[in-house]
Amino acid sequence: MLGYLIRRILAAIPVMGVVALFVFLLLRLTPGDPAAILAGDNATPEQLDRIRTSLGLNEPLYTQFFTWIGKLLHGDFGVSLISNVPVITMIGNRIEPTVAIALATIIFTVIVAVPLGVIAAWKHGTWIDRLVMALSVIGFSVPVFVIGYVLIQIFAIDLRWLPVQGYRKIASGFGPFLERIILPTLTLSFIYIALIARMTRAAMLDVLDEDYIRTARAKGIAEHGVLLRHALRNAAVPVITVIGTGFALLISGVVVTETVFNLPGIGRLTVDAVLARDYPVIQAMILLTSGIYVGVNLLIDLSYSLLDPRIRY
Amino acid sequence: MTTPLTAASAAPVVLDINDLVISIGRRADAHRIIDGVSLQVRHGETLCVVGESGSGKSVTSLTTMGLLPKKVLAPTRGTITLAGEDLLNAGDRRLRQLRATTMAMIFQEPMTALNPVVPVGRQIDEVLRTHTSLDARARRERILAMMEQVRLPDVARIFKSYPHQLSGGQRQRIMIAMALVLEPKLLIADEPTTALDVTTQKQILSLIRDLQRDHGTAVLFITHDMGVVAEIADRVVVMRKGKVVETGALDAILRAPTMDYTRNLLASVPSLIPRTARPASSEPVVLETNSLGKIYRTRSMFGEAREVAAAKDVTLTLRKGRTLGIVGESGSGKSTVARCIVRLIDPTSGEVRLAGQDISTLSRPALRPHRKRIQIVFQDPYRSLNPRVTVGETIAEGPVNYGVPHATAIKRAGELLELVDLPADAISRYPHQFSGGQRQRIAIARALALDPDVLVADEAVSALDVSVQAQVLDLLDEIQTRLGIALLFITHDLRVAAQICDEVVVMQHGRVVEQGAAGEILTNPQQAYTRQLLEAAPGRHWDFANFRPVHGFAQDATFSPGN
């Protein structure tokens, strides 16, 4: 197990290296000059040149790359081309709302979607099953921003239960913080619940056909025991896999959600950086997300061995 | 001999199924899966329900347990009474209370019948937690005692083990312990030994016998295997297509079956006594292996390299027109050898000579011309044919690959279908439109399409009912006579080997234990392992086809467990 862990972590290094190189080249080779954006439309060639030199943009590409990598390894993600603030500080300032709604979404989703999927599978073919599946189709097909605006209209404007937009740090009080992440979380959860409920149902249907479920029933165990102790634990591996890979959905959904609810998160930070060609910020963000993917995948793989004793590394 | 028939017939009836009808759906004209079945099992008695696939034997037992999928299959008539209690009108809650306490069940596949993610001790514990109010310590003691009763070794360790860490036999013992821990009045055993090797089967059968004697359990034992019936039954119910064909005491059924179906069923059971040997052959050798070996190596970055010898030093010779059997239990390496010979996997040492030419190290392109000389038929005809390709195309594909014009190949496919006794219109149909036996005929026709010198049959009749099995064996025999093909026959079933093989190779743990003429090996084995295999063959004392005990066995052996 420990050997496996070390191997997986070692294997992550080249993955991250390739991601870094790819990201670096992709951004440098796309048209558009950050110096020109910084200097504005009326800048003289001399001014542009001065800006390029000060940012290192005149250096050969490989020099820029290795300089950047070297700094990364020392924890230096560079300074924003636009605001001159260190990238790490910018991310630090913006990360709390994003992490808050991402975590809240995952927890809320699992709490709602897994029972829905289990019940749908148990009541396979009945109206309950069809209702859950119909809701799941709706969850998939309605865009995140539409859900967001509908929720705002109902809960913030009509019922006035919750604030329309904005964010309060958790340090300034849990109540105000909670009030402001409820709607973003609900918004973001929709598609995720649809996905995981569907996956849980499919996995449960497979497992409920297994011989050991018949054995469990033959032992005289009550139905909830059969479903939870015997079926769900065996269905967990594919469900956990989807919860993990669903991170991709989550991250793209975060950008829209932050925009709709005017949250100062890193999703919007990334979009702003892309529009302004703020290379250091874009690179740091892509590296951060890739790092999270790699980490989440590792956690998922490790969780398999906890869930299924047949899987040993 | 602990429950003589006379005593059993006076014992109270534990399970009474009377005129049971089960239909698909509740409509009056619905198709009947079970059609008027009646049977009784008494205290301390073993009733064997025997029948081929589709006879309704499993549906009957699942109905008793209340485990049928309710919406699809519903009892529409009749009664099931367990120790005086009406089961068909009992509520779900009451049925749950009765399960494990009054009636318990063990299943065919010990590999899949246990939850893979829960330690086996806890799976037994669940029965006690559900049905008793014992504290944790008392439960554990009772479980360990039960595990000892089913003769599991090192019970404290096995208690904590997961199913995948146990052998098939050990898992079935766990199932039995789980079923009997609350001393139910009725034990339903649904093909409990079918998936096990013969030596393990023998142990499990005698275990069930002994536990029944100690606890007086009524046993409803479902099987398709007449050999097992002869070992364990007090009385027998023969079922066919949802109806009871015949009921009687074991001896009466085996000696004097009154119904044609029962007679045919018994006559289909291949005899363990080898068929009359054919004269020695001087035909050319078409296949030989020389010290053939297959070693699997697994290597990991940090772990030690592991080597498993799946086959080691296998040397055999097969002449034109002859049949060579490789027999052995699971894990003996018999299928590995077959696959190496056909080069589906690559041997790691030794030679495979096809008509004198070593093919064991040929590259894939160099091997191509030799492929048509040797063809294989697999065990499971439900999975070995592509469901989306017509039978004709399946058969023609091989020759077409070797340059035969499509029209010629299809015409030849038609002839081959005729050879394997399938109707001519089969050519444009799809595999799902055929029964298991018919599919295996298609698989044989496909293998023959390339005019091979050698046909390898890897457990080719193991998935078939005995009557169908007998037909397919006859077909193979006939094809061999007509085409002079050599057969390499892989089987775990000594009865089948006795009926079709000229020579036999006995394998264990990847090595050849004994080889020679079938008549010699199967009647006068020299090696302890071969003897053990033969002794474990269920019903070996009974000559089913001739309705009499095998000469030389004591007559009362009929009722004694194979101990």
Residue for token digits 């000696």?
A: B255
Nearest to B200 by CA among B314, B331, B336: B331
B37-41, B298-302, B536-540: segment of lowest average pLDDT: B298-302
Q: How far apart are CA A250 and CA A244, in angstroms?
A: 10
A130-144, B5-19, B148-162, B463-477: segment of lowest average pLDDT: B5-19
Residue of A nearest to B103 (CA): A218
In the structure, what pLDDT confidence band is assigned to residue A311 with cuts at 50, 70 and 90? Answer: confident
Cβ neighbours of B130 in A, within 8 Å? 219-222, 225
Give the pLDDT of residue A32: 67
Alpha-carbon separation of residue A32 from A4, A29, A237, A262, A276 (angstroms): 44, 9, 45, 28, 10
Alpha-carbon separation of residue B159 from A220, B118, B128, B448 (angstroms): 21, 11, 14, 51
**A47 and A166 inside one domain:** no
**A275 in a domain, yes or no?**
yes
Cβ distance of A7 and B301 shorter than 8 Å = yes
Q: How far apart are CA A20 and CA A11, in angstroms?
A: 15
**A156 and A231 inside one domain:** yes
**A147 in a domain, yes or no?**
yes
Q: Do B126 and A221 meet the contact criterion of CB atoms below 8 Å apart?
A: yes
Mean pLDDT over A288-298 rounds to: 85
Give the pLDDT of residue B376: 93
Mean pLDDT over B383-395 rounds to: 92
What are the residues of chain A with a beta carbon less than 8 Å away from any beta carbon of chain B?
Answer: 3, 7, 125, 210-212, 214-222, 225, 229-230, 233-234, 307-310
Mutate to test the interface with A, among B87, B106, B111, B117 (most CBs of A within 10 A): B117
Mutate to test the interface with B, among A4, A219, A232 (most CBs of B within 10 A): A219
User: Given A220, A229, A230, which is nearest B100 (Cβ)?
Assistant: A220
**A33 and A152 inside one domain:** no
**A13 in a domain, yes or no?**
no
**A141 and A266 inside one domain:** yes
HEC string for B145-203: HHHHHCCCCCHHHHHHCCHHHCCHHHHHHHHHHHHHCCCCCEEEEECCCCCCCHHHHHH
DSSP string computed for B418-432: HHTT--GGGGGS-GG
The interface predicted TM-score (ipTM) is 0.79
Q: How far apart are CA B117 and CA A307, in angstroms?
A: 7
Q: How far apart are CA A35 and CA A48, in angstroms?
A: 6
Cβ neighbours of A212 in B, within 8 Å? 112-116
**A99 in a domain, yes or no?**
yes
Give the pLDDT of residue B557: 43
Cβ distance of B126 and A219 shorter than 8 Å = yes
Cβ neighbours of B109 in A, within 8 Å? 211
Give the pLDDT of residue A76: 82
Cβ neighbours of B113 in A, within 8 Å? 211-212, 214-215
Residue of B nearest to A126 (CA): B71
pLDDT in tens, B144-182: 999 998 989 899 999 999 998 898 889 999 999 999 999
A186-200, A278-292, B37-51, B306-320: segment of lowest average pLDDT: A278-292
Give the pLDDT of residue B322: 94
**A43 and A191 inside one domain:** no
Per-residue b or e along A101-140, where b marks 16 or more CB atoms closer than 10 Å to that residue's CB: bbebbbebbbeebbebbbbbbbeeeeeebeebbebbeebe
* AA identity, residue A25: L
Mean pLDDT over A213-224 rounds to: 91
Cβ neighbours of B118 in A, within 8 Å? 229-230, 233
Q: Does B164 touch chain A (CB under 8 A)?
A: yes
Q: How far apart are CA A5 and CA B64, in angstroms?
A: 50
Whether the per-residue pLDDT at B4 is higher than 60: the answer is no
Give the pLDDT of residue B299: 63
pLDDT in tens, B90-100: 888 999 999 99
Give the pLDDT of residue B437: 87
Cβ distance of A219 and B67 shorter than 8 Å = no
Among A41, A73, A105, give the residue marking a domain's end.
A73
DSSP B515: E
**A299 in a domain, yes or no?**
yes
pLDDT in tens, A125-183: 889 999 999 999 988 888 888 888 898 889 888 888 888 888 888 788 888 888 888 89
Cβ neighbours of A221 in B, within 8 Å? 96, 126, 130
Cα B78 to chain centroid distance, Å, stands at: 32
Alpha-carbon separation of residue B321 from A200, B253, B278, B493 (angstroms): 56, 38, 11, 22
pLDDT in tens, B499-522: 999 999 999 999 999 999 998 999
- CATH number of the CATH domain containing A285: 1.10.3720.10
User: Given B98, B114, B162, which is nearest A309 (Cβ)?
Assistant: B162
Whether the per-residue pLDDT at A247 is higher than 90: the answer is no
In the structure, what pLDDT confidence band is assigned to residue A119 with cuts at 50, 70 and 90? Answer: very high
Q: Does B102 touch chain A (CB under 8 A)?
A: no
**A106 and A67 inside one domain:** no
pLDDT in tens, B264-316: 999 888 888 888 888 888 889 999 999 999 998 876 555 566 788 889 999 99
pLDDT in tens, A67-105: 878 888 888 887 887 788 888 888 888 888 888 888 899
Q: 3-state DSSP: chain B helix, strand, coil percent, rounded to 5?
A: 40, 25, 35
Q: Mean pLDDT of all residues in chain A?
A: 85
The residues near B130 (Cβ < 8 Å, ≥ 6 apart) are A219, A220, A221, A222, A225, B100
Integer-rounded Cα radius of gyration of chain B: 25
* AA identity, residue B285: V
Cβ neighbours of A220 in B, within 8 Å? 95-101, 127, 130-131
Whether the per-residue pLDDT at B562 is higher than 70: the answer is no
**A68 and A102 inside one domain:** no
Cβ distance of A220 and B112 shorter than 8 Å = no
Q: Which residue has the higher pLDDT, B299 or B541?
A: B541
Cβ distance of B126 and A229 shorter than 8 Å = yes
Give the pLDDT of residue B3: 44
Q: Which residue has the higher pLDDT, B101 or A279?
A: B101
In the structure, what pLDDT confidence band is assigned to residue B348 with cuts at 50, 70 and 90? Answer: very high
Mean pLDDT over B370-384 rounds to: 89
Give the count of domains, chain A: 2
Whether the per-residue pLDDT at B556 is higher than 70: the answer is no
pLDDT in tens, A35-67: 776 666 677 788 778 777 776 777 787 888 888
**A199 to chain B, closest Cα gap in Å:** 20
Q: Does B161 touch chain A (CB under 8 A)?
A: no
The residues near B226 (Cβ < 8 Å, ≥ 6 apart) are B50, B265, B266, B269, B466, B539, B544
| Sign of the dihedral through C-alpha B39, B43, B48, B53 | positive
In the structure, what pLDDT confidence band is assigned to residue B46 with cuts at 50, 70 and 90? Answer: very high
| Sign of the dihedral through C-alpha B518, B523, B525, B530 | positive
Q: Does B65 touch chain A (CB under 8 A)?
A: yes
Range of the domain at A218: 95-307
Cβ neighbours of A218 in B, within 8 Å? 65, 67, 99-100, 104-105
The neighbour count for residue B148, using CB atoms within 10 Å, is: 12
**A305 to chain B, closest Cα gap in Å:** 10
Q: Does B397 touch chain A (CB under 8 A)?
A: no
Cβ neighbours of A211 in B, within 8 Å? 107, 109, 112-113
* A/B interface, count of CB pairs below 8 Å: 79
Give the pLDDT of residue A248: 66
Q: Mean pLDDT of all residues in chain B?
A: 88
Cβ neighbours of A224 in B, within 8 Å? none
Mean pLDDT over B70-81 rounds to: 84
Q: Cα-Cα-Cα-Cα dihedral of B521, B525, B527, B532, to 10°?
A: 110
Cβ neighbours of B177 in A, within 8 Å? none
Whether the per-residue pLDDT at B558 is higher than 60: the answer is no
Cβ distance of A222 and B130 shorter than 8 Å = yes
Q: Does B107 touch chain A (CB under 8 A)?
A: yes
**A86 in a domain, yes or no?**
no
User: Given B71, B96, B101, which is nearest A222 (Cβ)?
Assistant: B96
Give the pLDDT of residue B40: 94
The residues near B536 (Cβ < 8 Å, ≥ 6 apart) are B198, B199, B201, B202, B562
**A148 in a domain, yes or no?**
yes
Whether the per-residue pLDDT at A252 is higher than 80: the answer is no
Q: Do A287 and A69 meet the contact criterion of CB atoms below 8 Å apart?
A: no
**A131 and A195 inside one domain:** yes
Residue of A nearest to B127 (CA): A219
**A233 and A154 inside one domain:** yes
Cβ neighbours of A307 in B, within 8 Å? 117
Q: Does B365 touch chain A (CB under 8 A)?
A: no
Q: How far apart are CA B47 and CA B60, in angstroms?
A: 13
User: Given A210, A229, A230, which is nearest B112 (Cβ)?
Assistant: A210
Residue of A nearest to B190 (CA): A215
**A297 in a domain, yes or no?**
yes
**A10 to chain B, closest Cα gap in Å:** 12
Q: Which residue has the higher pLDDT, A306 or B131?
A: B131
In the structure, what pLDDT confidence band is assigned to residue B391 with cuts at 50, 70 and 90? Answer: very high
In the structure, what pLDDT confidence band is assigned to residue A306 with cuts at 50, 70 and 90? Answer: confident
Give the pLDDT of residue A310: 82
Q: For a pLDDT cut of 90, what percent of chain B falls above it?
A: 59
Cβ distance of A220 and B162 shorter than 8 Å = no
Cβ distance of B130 and A7 shorter than 8 Å = no
Q: Which residue has the higher pLDDT, A82 or B105?
A: B105
Q: Does B69 touch chain A (CB under 8 A)?
A: no
Cβ neighbours of B301 in A, within 8 Å? 3, 7
**A118 and A203 inside one domain:** yes
**A67 and A202 inside one domain:** no
Q: Does B356 touch chain A (CB under 8 A)?
A: no
Q: How far apart are CA B346 and CA B295, in angstroms?
A: 10
Cβ distance of A220 and B101 shorter than 8 Å = yes
**A147 and A273 inside one domain:** yes
